[in-house]
Amino acid sequence: MNSTIPTEELRSITLSVYRFDPGKDKKAYMQDIEIEVPVNKDLMVLDALVLAKKQETSLSFRRSCGEGVCGSDGMNINGKNGLACVTPLSEAIKGEKLVVKPMPGLPVVRDLIVDMKQFFDQLEKVKPYLITKDEAPEQERKQSPEEREKLDGLYECILCGCCSTACPSFWWNPDKFLGPAALLQSWRFIADSRDQATEERLDDLDDAFSLYRCHGIMNCVSVCPKGLNPTEAISNIRKKLINRKK
C-alpha cells in the first residue's frame, strides 16, 4: 500500500534508491519505491525518503535537524551530491523518477549511510582549532571587524561531506589528499588573525598530495549546500605557500 500525506491532489513518483545491507546482500542494488506526493506543494527530498521509509521500513539514511544545519543527510541526488533536507523535489526530480544513492567515494555502511571516518581523519589532520602561543588574555582574543570578515564563507561549513565526496582527487587518494572540506577548514584557521600556527600549518600542507592534488575541477563549489567556495580557499593556501620565503 502506498504511503500518503494528507492533501487534496496527489501524484505518483518513483524513488529509485540504492540498497545494501551487508548482513543480507552480497551486492548493492537499486530499488524502485512508488510514493505519492502533493501536486501543488513542493516537498524536500528528505520528505520523499521519509514517505518511502513508511513502505520500506528497512530503508536506512541519516537525518537530524532537517533544515540544512547539522549536515547529516548528505547524499547523491540524481547524480549530484546535496543535503536531502534542503533539496526541493521539484529541483532534483527528472521526469517522474528520483535516483538517490549514498555519497560516492566512501564505504557504504548500509543503504544511504556511508562511513565518514576517512573524511573526519582528513579533517583532523588540518588541526581545525585555534592554535595560540601567547598566554591567554583575561577575556577573549579580540579581532577587528575587518579581520573577522575574512572568516566569512569559511566558518559556515557544516562538514556534511558533499564537497569531498564529489571530488575525483579525493576518490583517487582519500588517504593522502585532504579534500575540499578539510582544506576549507585549514584556510579558515590560516586566515584567522588570532591563530599563531600559520607556518606549521603551511609546512604540513607542502607535500605532493595534501593540497596540491586539487586540480581545480570545482565539483566542490558546484555541490556545496551552503554555497561555499573550497576551490578559492585552496587557491589562497597555494598563494600563501608560493609567496612565503622557504
The correct pick among 194, 206, 218, 232 for binding another protein (CB under 8 A) is 206
The correct pick among 205, 224, 228, 234 for binding another protein (CB under 8 A) is 205
Q: Would you count residue 238 as binding another protein (CB under 8 A)?
A: yes
Q: Would you count residue 207 as binding another protein (CB under 8 A)?
A: yes
Q: Which long-range contacts (CB under 8 A, 24 or more apart) does 30-36 make?
A: 30/99, 31/56, 33/59, 34/2, 35/2, 35/3, 36/2, 36/3, 36/4, 36/10, 36/11, 36/12
Q: Which of residues 1-40 bind another protein (CB under 8 A)?
A: none
- Tell the smallest beta-carbon distance from residue 204 to another protein (Å): 11
Q: Would you count residue 172 as binding another protein (CB under 8 A)?
A: yes
- Tell the smallest beta-carbon distance from residue 83 to another protein (Å): 28
d(CA 1, CA 31): 16
The widest CA-to-CA distance across the chain, in whole angstroms, is 69
Q: Would you count residue 169 as binding another protein (CB under 8 A)?
A: yes
Q: Would you count residue 208 as binding another protein (CB under 8 A)?
A: yes
Q: Would you count residue 125 as binding another protein (CB under 8 A)?
A: no
**Contact partners, residue 203, CB within 8 Å, separation at least 6:** none
The correct pick among 176, 193, 198, 226 for binding another protein (CB under 8 A) is 176
Q: Which residues bind another protein (CB under 8 A)?
A: 169, 172-176, 205-213, 238, 241-242
